[in-house]
Every structure is written in structure tokens, then in C-alpha cells.
Amino acid sequence: MNLYNLEELLVQQNPQWISKKIVEVGFERDFFVSFCQELNKKKLILTLCGPRRTGKTFLTKQSMRWLVENKRIPPKNICYFQFSGSLNENNVISAILDLFLKKYAGIGKKYIFLDEIQYVDYWQDQIKSFYDILEDVKFVVSGSTSLFYRQKSKESLAGRIIKCNLGALNFHEYLRFKNIEEPSYNRAKFVSNLAIYKTEFKKYLALGQYPEIVTNKELNPKKYIMDLSDQIINFDIPYFSAKINRQLFLSVVKTLSFDLAQEFSTNNLARTLETDRREIAEYVKILEEIGLFSICYNAGFKSMRRKLSGSKKIYGLNLNLSLHLNGFDISYLNDTRVFGKYFENYVFMRILEKYGKIEYYRIGDKELDFVSKDMAFEIKSGTKTDLNKYQELSLELKKKFYLISEEEAYLI
């Protein structure tokens, strides 16, 4: 490792040490406020995970600016470093921290932001050694959703870490990034913009969940999404799972993308793709870990063993990717059945984001789209039907009932 070259790179990535200010600008995600609240807490290591291109680096630099402007942290006490595959060397993190702390940092609280850290083997071990001896340093670690998946490390950092996740844009963020008034609880305002929301919602489902696509009009959205899927399948996945069958993995992603919001089983998927069930189960697990899909279990099954072996549903966590992987575009959403699946999937994403855990309920002819700890939800994108049976079942389960129509979905 050439320490001089490393120091030169470190200085290049921290222009605030010379300019004495952080000028990073851009749209703020809804998550920004809560992330800064976590950043303001005590010593625990803060991690920011999420799929590629969701805006983690932007959020990181915005939080650096927030520290300077709101907490009066001197710019020289903030260190940022972004890693790459070529910097995966023994003790590289230790070398960077030594350079910063001994040659650049001043007196007082210091913040160290380490971005794309999944490229560094044994990163937990290197950070732990500093964390345990330094009282005035706050570590912020960011990277892909695979940050803690099969990482080479002897340390888990258990009890020392707070985990935060950043996913795809929600509809409100999409509107804000396009300078369109967000849905208001003022009924008159909401109704006056309803036609716009209906049009924009389909655009959002098809091409509006990546910040760069929404804000950069020069990009070709379809090419952007397909290039991104190629990077995920052919670079990100093999990076932490070398034995993966890339063609089979892509087939799994395409099949799950086609079957959004429907029940699935690894056995059926293995039969469809004519392969081993255990391999399919492993690939589905990876897809959950990297934040592309989420499994929704049946709350009607009480034991975890039954939940795992019984019926469950699959939902995508980036609908743009799911739509385009099978060669579809926005016109595909004109089919009411297809739109219903994507609409339900979006509601799932929002409830999951708000409440952390969500299941569906189906036992015999008794059924609810989603249930959380105290609430039950029924999703209707088309004509409203008799809701009595859903309300009665919610009462039986001791949960408050909510109907979410397409209009209500714009508000959540």
C-alpha cells in the first residue's frame, strides 16, 4: 500500500478541509431527518445500507453538511472516504484513520464516513479496534444491502451498531423531486390535483423510483434500469457469492418479478426452473438480503416453522426493475389486473417502511391483504366491494381496519 497515494486520495475526497465548507446540495429524502437524528446520538456506529443507486452517497454528504450547519462541527473534523474493489487491502481502513486523526483532525468530536465499505474484507475488525479506544469519534458506515451478508470478519459489532436502510423513492419523494405539489389532506387541494396524481403514479411505478432518473432529464430511463440490472446480476451478486449461477439467478429474478404480490413457494419455483430447491431458496435469500424483494408471511400460521413451510407472498422493493426485467414498459400497467398487483406492491412497501413488520392473513375463506401488530389493511385499486367481511375479521383479530383505495394510497 502506497501511503502517499492513499493520503492524496483522502485529501481529494475531503475538499472541506481546504474550502472549510460542505456545499453538497440536492433533494432530501424523507429519511434524511431521522438519519440525522440517529447521527446525533451517542457513540454507536451508524450504518446506512441500501440497493445500488438509491442515493446513499448523497444522503451521506447531506448529513455531513448538516453537521457543519446545525451542530457546528468544524469541517476539518469530518472525514469522508469512498472505497472501491481496488482498495481492498489489509489494514486500509486503519491507514486512512491514522492519516486523518494524526495529520488533519482538530480538537473535539470527529465524524468518519466510510462509503462503499462492502468492498473491504474484515472491515468490522478494523473499525472495532478504533471504536473501542476512541471516545470522541463517531463512525458512519455505508454500502450495499449486502453489507452484513457473508462478510469476511471475526467481529459482528454486536451491541455497537445501529442499522439504517434506504430504499427506492416513494411517490411523495418522486413528486417533490419533479416539483409537483405533494398530496394534501386538504380535500379541495387533493381533488384539484387528483388527475395529475393518477397520471404521475403510473409513471412513478414504471420509471420513478431512482433519484437520478427523476432528476436528470438527459438520462434514458429504460437504458439506465437495464444497465443497473446488469450491474446487480453480473457484478454485485458474484462479488459476495462467487459460486452463483448467474443465468439461473437472473431467471429467478425475472420469475419473481412477473409474480409480484402472489403466493409462491421455493418448491414450485424450483420445478418451474428445473433446478434444485435448495439453490432456489439460497437465491431468494440473497434477493432479500440485497433489498430487491421481500417475503410476506401468512399471519394465519402461528408457528414460525409453519410460516416458513406454508404459503407466503413475494413483493418487489423496486418496481421499476421488476417491470423492465421482463421487457415490459408503462403500457403494461394499463391492464387493470397488472396495475392492481403493482398498486398492492406499492402499498406493501409503504406499510413496511412505516411499521417495520407486515404479514398477510389467509385461513380458509378468511382473508386480509395485510396485517401489522394492531392494524389490518384491505387494498382496493378498482371498484369497491362489500367490506363487512374484512371489518368483521379485523374485529375478530383485534385489529383496527383500514381500507386503502388508490386515492388513499397517494396520501400514505
Chain segment 126-169, per-residue pLDDT in tens: 888 888 888 889 999 998 766 665 555 445 666 788 888 899 99
- At residue 66 the predicted structure's pLDDT band, cuts being 50, 70 and 90, is very high
- At residue 293 the predicted structure's pLDDT band, cuts being 50, 70 and 90, is very high
Average pLDDT of the residues in 353-375: 91
pLDDT at 394: 95
Look at residues 412, 409, 408, 407 and name the one whose alpha carbon lies nearest to residue 194.
Answer: 407
C-alpha cell read off for 330:
408503462
Q: Are residues 199 and 346 in the same domain?
A: yes
Look at residues 314, 319, 324 and name the one whose alpha carbon lies nearest to residue 287.
Answer: 314
pLDDT at 101: 93
**112, 130, 165 - which closes a domain:** 165
| DSSP annotation of 102 | I
Q: What CA–CA distance (Å, rounded) separates 25 from 59?
A: 10
Average pLDDT of the residues in 56-63: 92
Lowest mean pLDDT among 146-150, 298-302, 324-328: 146-150
pLDDT at 63: 95
Q: Are residues 185 and 125 in the same domain?
A: no
The strand pair at 293-297 and 312-316 is best described as antiparallel
pLDDT at 122: 83
Give the three-class secondary structure for 169.
coil
Q: What CA–CA distance (Å, rounded) separates 52 from 56?
A: 8
| Averaged pLDDT of the chain | 88
Q: Are residues 161 and 280 in the same domain?
A: no
Give residue-wise pLDDT tens across range 228-285: 888 887 777 766 566 788 889 989 999 999 999 999 889 999 999 999 999 999 899 8
The strand pair at 312-316 and 262-264 is best described as antiparallel
Q: Are residues 120 and 199 in the same domain?
A: no
Provide the domain count of the chain.
Answer: 2
Residue 50 has pLDDT above 90, yes or no: no
Q: Are residues 297 and 380 in the same domain?
A: yes
Residue 103 has pLDDT above 80, yes or no: yes
Give the three-class secondary structure for 18.
helix
Helices within 184-232 (DSSP H only)? 187-192, 194-207, 211-215, 221-231
**165, 188, 216 - which closes a domain:** 165
Average pLDDT of the residues in 68-88: 91
Query: Cβ neighbours of residue 356 under 8 Å, at least 6 residues apart?
Result: none
Q: What CA–CA distance (Å, rounded) separates 276 from 297?
A: 23
pLDDT at 290: 81
Q: Are residues 355 and 377 in the same domain?
A: yes
Percent of the chain having pLDDT more than 70? 93
pLDDT at 26: 78
pLDDT at 235: 75
| Helix pair 266-273, 277-289: axis angle to 10 deg | 110
Average pLDDT of the residues in 285-303: 89
- At residue 383 the predicted structure's pLDDT band, cuts being 50, 70 and 90, is low
Q: What CA–CA distance (Å, rounded) separates 331 from 316?
A: 19
Q: Are residues 154 and 51 in the same domain?
A: yes
For residue 9, the tally of other CB atoms under 10 A from its CB is 15
pLDDT at 41: 81
- At residue 172 the predicted structure's pLDDT band, cuts being 50, 70 and 90, is very high
Q: What is the largest CA-CA distance in the chain?
A: 71
Q: Is residue 160 classed exposed, middle or buried when 0-12, 13-18 and 19+ CB atoms within 10 A define those classes?
A: middle
pTM above 0.85, yes or no: yes
Residue 404 has pLDDT above 80, yes or no: yes
Give the three-class secondary structure for 161.
strand
Q: Are residues 128 and 176 in the same domain?
A: no
Look at residues 248, 326, 323 and name the one whose alpha carbon lies nearest to residue 287.
Answer: 248
What are 294's strand-pairing partners? Answer: 315
What are 142's strand-pairing partners? Answer: 48
Q: Are residues 184 and 158 in the same domain?
A: no
Q: Give the domain extent around 212.
A: 172-411
Q: Is residue 364 classed exposed, middle or buried when 0-12, 13-18 and 19+ CB atoms within 10 A define those classes?
A: exposed
For residue 163, the tally of other CB atoms under 10 A from its CB is 13
Look up the CATH number of the domain holding residue 107. Answer: 3.40.50.300
pLDDT at 90: 80
Q: Are residues 247 and 328 in the same domain?
A: yes
Q: Are residues 92 and 131 in the same domain?
A: yes
Q: Are residues 98 and 201 in the same domain?
A: no
**165, 194, 212 - which closes a domain:** 165
Q: Decide: 322 and 298 in contact? Cβ < 8 Å.
A: no
